[in-house]
Structure 1
Amino acid sequence: MTATSFVFPHTFVPWFRAVAPYIHAYRGETFVVGMPGELIAAGKLNSFVQDLAIMHAMGIKIVLAHGFRPQVNEQLAAKGQPARYSHGLRITDAVALDCAQEAAGQLRFEIEAAFSQGLPNTPMANATVRVVSGNFLTARPVGIVDGVDFQHSGLVRRVDAAAIQRAIDTGAIVLLSPFGFSPTGEAFNLTMEDVATSTAIALQADKLVFVCESAGVPEDPNDPESPVDTELALADAERMLASSPPYPSPKEAMFYLRHCARACRAGVERSHIIPFSVDGALLQEVYTHDGIGTMVVDEKLESLREATSDDVGGIIALIDPFERDGTMVKRDRNEIERDIQAYTVIEHDGVIFGCAALFPYVEAHTAEMAALTVSAEVQGQGDGDRLLKRIEQRAKSMGLESIFVLTTRTMHWFIKRGFQTVDPEWLPEERKRKYNWDRRSQVLVKRLT
């Protein structure tokens, strides 16, 4: 046995278990993915298609809208024609329309070929991915704006959502080119961003994902080098857009943020901006807690709430590693199910990442806070403090004067938050009878008044 084969299971197995909740959560959901022509020009198509095929194999229904901005510009340059833009849109004259049609045909061919790969020892081995495309879009002309005639440039008028839904329900990936046709058969050049957003809205997709040149929305809009804001509430996105230039470059996050905000306003639950420069960015965004780019949501996805019976499995999965290493006392499933109303949980995108329980001793005017747990993936982000605050609020609402905890390893965390150590004899009589003297847990108390 080699060293690599010995170590690999110790990294692969925990990783695979960590992504399993997302595999379950997204099976059967619909994602609309916007892929700019810049991704293809950068030579990222094959690896990107492989990641889409993996997601498709795990039960996600995918609609892929592609762009062709650099390819059209290249065709125009070859014909000695300039690329003309106004108001953030291409001005599509007859020559540009011909170039767009040529580019669209070539890219559709390349994309379908990429999905047809089946080489051994690649993610596409044993994959059978059918790609369906067609005239799913009806378009209207942009017309004349501020004296500028956009000629053959158009906007999406209608998406044949029923036809797209039938196609993805059969297991096919639907491929949309940025072209639409009027009822009279006239062709219009559309933007990939408009096509992807309009389609996500028409389908009421679960996610709209733009894989683009931008790394995401910076936390400080005035400092492009600041860390990426991984989760942005729609209200915050609207405020940022209101104070930003109206026609940003496609290289900037603001260019895509306006489309993400439009989708969220119209009922799409989540919209994402992620960089194609990072290999596997799509998989990281979908199958990890923090993702890699920016996710725009109508409201924060992280929810602090009281637990229900549906949360029992998530709580067990969360506390199991801490029970196994001896940090926490073992609780069986029946016990958790019986006491589920005592639990508070932090849920993010359908996954439980934190919990705590409150067991009152009314006659003694106190309560035990037990099973305070935060997933190792998100420790250090304040979730423990949020749970503690909620437990304190629940205890106060019961008219209690204090809360106490029993711990063997985390007493310093509690002391920093106002707890004081006391002798186990302090415990309410009922709790004292259950105290495990062999475990020698520290008893810490926090006054609430």
Structure 2
Amino acid sequence: MNHRTHRASSTAPTARGGAAPAPEHTTPPGWDFLFETAGLDALNRTAGELAGGADPTQLNTLLRRTGLSPEHTAAVLTQAMLRLKARPKFGDLAMSLLFTPSGLEQATRGIVALRHAARYRAAGCTTVADLGCGIGAESIALLGSGIAPLAVEIDPFTARVAEHNLGVTAAHHRLPTPSVRVGDAEYVGPGDADGVFLDPARRTAGHSDTRRIASPDDYSPSLSYAFELANQLPTGIKLGPGLDRELIPDTAEAQWVSVDGHVVETGLWFGELARHGITRSALVIRGTESAELSAGEDSADAPQRALGEYLYEPDGAVIRARLIGLLADRLRAGMLSDGIAYLTSDRLLPTPFAAAFRIIDELPVREKDLRRALADRGIGTLEIKKRGADVDPAALRTRLKLRGPHSATLVLTRVAGAHVALLAERA
């Protein structure tokens, strides 16, 4: 179905009865200073010095000597440390942005947000409502991709941070600074946008407590509201990687994304944003390289086979997308044991979708015998991986009392249902 031709009026999916509740102002003490020229100047200097290895305690003393109050000094130092922490997500741009602790943790990585924006651009969207924009990561990517963001954020201070960040991006592209509307996304709605993005896996209130709400009914904006919008407009919904798959509508393309070995999100895409014939995909990003495995449905697991010379550990995104069988077919591999996400093969085929290990030996499972076997081989550095084994790798490593000049990988798992300890090396 072409969602744009079935679009309702801008008010149809947004009415929630009465006026939106007014959120409380939650500016942390001293943080207003960060929006002043003097505050930004102090922040830029401090962040640069921290990046160069300066000691935070000494910087605190230096800032106080310039006449800054304790609150302003704390705000500058906290924000400078957040900028450094943000660099893996935002690159060099982080040194020009403002953050809140929870906003940074929740923010989409820049490289992923740009891929989101590319979907909207390919779908022909020119204006996208970013409902629940946080510190503005998605809107930054949209703006940089030539799409006008209509940003909405319920927390006034976070909205202020987002507006600053959009101003930095707009100035870089010589565009007017978009405003950020303060309000509940379900009351404000998408307006006249021709696309919608939502991040409804909201965290608890405040800027430092980042626990995820457990119940799908407690998401804000609610999933029912998000799916309702998806029936009206091209819609993207960012959710946590552990999303209950029973919640995924049949009309969605579900994409699990991993960055440098960590699964970071489940993206649900509707209408023109969903690709024809794809309902499941795993996007694997490592550094600046990316690869995608996709299918029209979950793939059945490959048949179990005997342990071969090589073991493959599928990327978490492939596992979440339930595409292990598809990967096994490409690698000409089989399952090591039913229900365990390890593959095995007699051939080494390079793949971005799994880590490969060459099996060196099968060691005793009994801990005392295992410790002796590792000692005999002079293994002092041991990476321990496990699937289907009830063991704490950190505690086991301590008990093994490793000594020696060599390093290896120990895989604790099952072969045909039986517990095994496999000594391996990364291929």
The TM-score with structure 1 as length reference comes to 0.31
Q: Tell me the TM-score normalized by structure 2.
A: 0.32
Rg larger in structure: 1
